[in-house]
Amino acid sequence: MDDWCQSNCLRYPPNCPESVCHCPQTCEAIGEIQGREGADVYCMDECLTYKSKCPTDRCHCY
C-alpha cells in the first residue's frame, strides 16, 4: 500500500476509494506466532497503523 492510501485508509473516518486503494480491515497471525494468545491483536496493532511495521512473515491482513 502506498503512503497516500496508508495515511487515508487508516485515519478516522477512512478515506479509502476502492478504485485507488485496497485497505485492510483486519489482520491474522500466521507462521510461528499463529495460535498464540494475543497474536492477532499484535498483528492489528503493528499493521493497521500509519507507518505500518507489519511483519509479513507473521501477519496477514485483508
Secondary structure (DSSP) of the chain: --HHHHHHHTSSS----TTT------EEE-GGGTTSTTHHHHHHHHHSSSS----TTTEEE-
Q: Model confidence over 41-52: pLDDT tens digits?
A: 999 999 998 888
- This prediction has a pTM of 0.78
Summarize pLDDT for 18-29 with one digit per residue, the tens. 899 988 889 999
